[in-house]
Structure 1
Amino acid sequence: MSTDTELLPSKLLIVDDLAENLQALSAIIRGEDRVIYEARSGEEALALMLEHDFALAILDVQMPGMDGFELANFMRGTAKTRDIPIVFVTAAATESNFDFRGYATGAVDFLHKPLDIGAVKSKVNVFVALHQQRMEIQRQVAALEASRKKQESLLAELRHTQAELEKSITIRDNFISMVAHELRTPLNTLFLDVQVRTLQLERGNLAAFSQQELQKMTERDRRQIKNMIRLIDDMLDLTRISSGKLSVRPVSTNLTELLQRLVHDLTPQAQALGYTLELAAEEQIHGEWDAFRLEQIIANLLTNAMRYGREKPIRISLKRQDGHALIAVKDHGVGISPEDQARIFLAFERCQGNQVSSGLGLGLYIAQHLAEAHHGRITVQSTLGEGSTFTLQLPLHVQPQALRA
C-alpha cells in the first residue's frame, strides 16, 4: 500500500562506558533514517529506554557496575523494553561462554572487537529496515482500522438518511392524503350546494332564495370557505416552520383586551356547540407581541377545548408570574393520556384521548412554534376523564428585535 506519510526515523541506542567507543560506533552506524542515542552506563541506558521506543540496543558486555548481561536481564523484565532487539559488543578474546550467556538473555547477535565496519553497517541496516517495515505495517493497519470505522460511520449515516427519507416520503404521502381528504369535505359541500341552487334556478323556483334561505346558504358557504382557508394557512405555516422562515411582528399589545376580544368573537361558536366561555383577566397586562399570532395560538387552544370538552364550561385565565404572562385554557373534557401528552405537539398528531379529530393535526404543532418564536412555550396538564389545562407562557420583557430574529 502506498503512503503519503513519511515514516519517523528509527531510534538506536548504543551503550558503552568509554566515550571513544561510543563515538566510533556512532560514526559507523549513523544514517538519515535513524537517530542515535548514547549511554555511558546501564542505569543511563534504562532511563533512556523508558523514555523512547528503540529499534535496536547495542550493548557493550564489559562495563563497570551494571554490565551488558545484567542490563539485558533488566530489559527483558520490563514490558516496555523486553521486545527491543539486543546486539552485544565484546572483545574477540573473551571467555568462551559469552555467546551462550548473551543468547540466554535474549541477544539476537554479537559484534566482536575489533569491529568489522562493513559487517556492523550491514547488520544495523537490517534491524533498521525491519523496524521501518514494522512501523509501516502498523501505520497501514491503523489506516485500515480508521478507514473501516469511517466506512461503518458512513454506512450508519446512510442507513439513518435512508430511514429519514423513507419517513419523509411516508409523511409526505400521508400529508397529501390528509390535505386531499380535508379539502374534499368543504369542497364537496360547496359543490352540492351549487348544484342544488343551479337546479332551483333552472326550475324557476325563486322561493328557494328567500332572504332567510340566502342567509343560511351564505353562512354555510362562509363556514366551508373558512375551513379551507384554515387548512391552507396551516400548510403555509408548516412550510415556514420547515424552512426556518416563521416570523412574528411584535407591536405594543394589551393582552387583556386581546383575550376579551377573542372570547367575545368565539362566544357564538361556543354557544352553538353547547359551551360557555369564562374569562378571568382582571389586571391589564401589556407587552411587545404579535397580536395576530397570539390570537392564532389562543384560538387553537380554545378550539381544542371545544372539541374535547364534553360541553362543559371552558375557563380562560390571565395572570402575571415570575416575569411572564400566563394564559391558561382549562376544560373539563376527556383529558389526555400521559403517552399522548408526549406527542400532541408533534406535526400530524390528531389523536387525543379516545377520539380522532378532523384537520391535519398541525394546530398544536404550529401553536408551540409560534410560542417559541415569542421566546415562550405551551405546557399541558391533564388527567384522563377530568379535563386538560393548556398554559401559554410569554416573557414580559423580550426585546422586539429578538423576536424578529
Structure 2
Amino acid sequence: MILIVDDRPENILPLKKILELHDFAVDTAESGEEALKKILKSAYSVIILDVQMPEMDGFEVANAISGFSKARDTSIIFLSAVNTEKKFITRGYTTGGIDYLTKPVDPDILALKVKTLHRLYMQQQELRSAQESLRREIDIRRQAQEQLAGQVQELQVILASLPEMAFTVTPDGRLEYVNEHWFRYAVDSTHLPVTHGDDNLRTDLDKALACGTEFTREVRLRDLSTGEYRYHLLRLLPIRQQQLVSRWIGTFTDIHPQKQAAELLEQEVALRTRELRLNNAELERTNHELQQFTWVVSHDLKEPLRKIQILNDHIREKFLKDNNEAVSYLERAIRSSARMARLIDDLLAYSQLSAPEVFKRTDLNALLAELLLDFDERIRQLGAVVTVDHIPALDTIPGRIRQVFQNLISNALKFVRPNVPPVIRISAERIATKAIDGEPDANGSFCRITVRDNGIGFDEKFLDRIFILFQRLHSQTSYEGTGIGLAIAKKNMDKHQGLISAQSRPGEGATFLLVLPLTQTPPTHPN
C-alpha cells in the first residue's frame, strides 16, 4: 500500500488518481500526526511525503518514522514546490528519504519510481520471510540435534548396562560404539569380533546394511582369553529417522549352553529314534509270530473240541437215549464246547485284524445284498423286514467291512423283543466332517451309515462297555454270543480311520452309527 501525506487535499487527489491508475492501493493523510498514527497500524511500501506542512513538516515526520520498526523497509519520497535548494534536498536524504522530487512532478516518472520502490519493498519482505523461516529451521534442527545427542547418550548408557555384547554402527558400516563386553572377543573398538573360519560375518553384515532390514544369524566367536569358540546370536536392527537409516543397533547374545543342549537333545532324539525303529521291527516280528501262534493254538484247540462234540453226539445217540438226566448233562456239555469253538473263531478273527490289507473301491449295496443271503433262513424264521437304502461307494477293505455289518445285523436279529418281528433299516448320508453328529453335506468327504433296529435296546450308560472285548450286557443263558462281535467291529472301523457309536433306550431298539471317509488316505509313518 502507498501512503500520500499532504496538508492540502487538492495536492493529494491527483497523486492518488495517478497511482490508482497503475493498480496501487493508496491511503492518505492530511497531517504529520495523522500519518504517524496510520503508520503505527498499517504497513506501507512507499510514503510520498510533502515537505511543507504546518505544525509538523515532512522532515520531522521522516525522523519520527525512522524510529518505527514497522516502517524499517518503507521508502520515503519527498515532494516540495518551495524548498528546492540544495540544503533542503540534502536534509531530505539525511532524514531517511530515498528520493527528493520538486513540483510540478512528471506523473510517469513518479509512477516508475513508486513501482521500483514498491518492488524493492516486496523483495525485502520476501527476503525477511525467508530469513525468518531459515532461522526457525535452524532452531528446529538444533533442537533435534540436541535431542538426538541426548537419545544417543541414553542409548549408550542402556547398551553399557546390558549383560551381553552391544554395539552401534553408522549407515556406512563403521563401528560407532561398543560396550565393555565387546573386548572379550574383539581386539579393539574398530574391529569386529574374531569369528570361526566358516562364519563369514563381514559379508553377511554388508548385505544386511545394503538391504536396510533387520538381520539375525548364529555365529561362532572366539574368546580371546581362552581361545574357545562360542555360539552367539547376532541381531542387527536399523534405527530410522524420516525413512532413512540413521544408525544400526546390534547385540551378540551368548547361546552356547542352549546350542550344546540342543545338540545333545538332537543326539538323544536320533538315538531314541534308532531304538524305536529297532523296537518297531522287533514288535512287528513278535506280532507276526503271535499271529502264527494264535492260528496254531486255535487250530489245535478246535480239533479236540470237534472230537468232543462228535463223541458226545455218539454217546447220546447210542447209550443215553433212555436216560433223560444224562442226556441233559451231555447236551449242556455239547453247548459249552460249541461256545468254546465260537470263542476260538472270534479270537482268531480279532487277532488277525492287525494284518495290513489293501483298500478297494467297494459297492456296499452289493456287499450287503450278498451278506443278507447268509441270514436268509434266520430272517425267514423271525419274519424280519430288512431295508437297505442307497449307500455311496467307499474305499474299504471288503472282508473287514463285511465283518462290521455281519456283527451289527447278527445282533439286530439276535436281541429281539418277544413276539415282535425284527425291523432293520440301513441308510446313509454324506456329511462334511468326521464326526458322529456331523452336518449333512451333499458334497461331504465322509459317509454316515445308520443301522437301526426295533429290538430290546440297552441303557446308554453302558455305551463305553459294548465295544470292549468280552463285555456283555446280557447273560449267556438269555442270548448267545462271546462278547467279541462289537469289539471286532470297533477295531475294523479304526482300521478304516472311521468312527462307530450307538444310540439306544431299553425296549426301544438300537441305532448304530458308522462314519467312514469316502476316500482313504494312506497313513504317514516317520522314517
- The reply to whether TM is greater than 0.5 is no
| Shorter-chain TM-score range | 0.3 to 0.5
TM-score of the aligned structures, taking structure 1 as reference length = 0.43
Structure with more relative contact order (C-alpha pairs < 8 Å, separation 6 or more):
1
When Rg is computed on C-alpha atoms for both structures, the one with the higher figure is 2
TM-score (norm 2): 0.36
Q: Which of the two has greater helix per residue?
A: 1
